[in-house]
Amino acid sequence: MPHPSVPVAPQRRRINLTIREDVLAEAKALSLNTSQAAGAGIREAVRQPRGHSAAARQSGRE
């Protein structure tokens, strides 16, 4: 059982993604961690619609 004051990292899941070859080659040339980059992009894509919906509700447009 983890200690109560130690944060537990979110569970990760292995998936398959399809990405353009040129983008992957550029990422590898830059030594980017593609799993972290993909996760960051997906988190941002999920965050944007949520933020947009909240802003629309607050302004009365939704």
The radius of gyration computed from the CA coordinates of the chain, to the nearest angstrom, equals 18
Average of per-residue pLDDT across 10-35: 95
The answer to whether position 25 is within a domain reads yes
When pLDDT is cut at 50, 70 and 90, the band that residue 19 belongs to is very high
Q: Where in the sequence is the domain holding 42, given as residue range(s)? A: 21-59
Burial class (CB in 10 A: 0-12, 13-18, 19+), 6: exposed
**Which tokens sit at 47?**
């965050």
pLDDT tens column, 22-34: 999 999 999 999 9
When pLDDT is cut at 50, 70 and 90, the band that residue 55 belongs to is low
Task: Inform me whether the pLDDT recorded for 62 exceeds 50.
Answer: no
The answer to whether position 9 is within a domain reads no
Report which residue type is found at 8: V
The answer to whether position 6 is within a domain reads no
* The predicted structure's pLDDT at residue 10: 86
**Overall pTM > 0.85:** no
C-alpha to C-alpha distances, 3 to 9, 10, 11, 12, 39, nearest whole angstrom: 13, 16, 17, 20, 27
The answer to whether position 11 is within a domain reads no
Domain count, the chain: 1
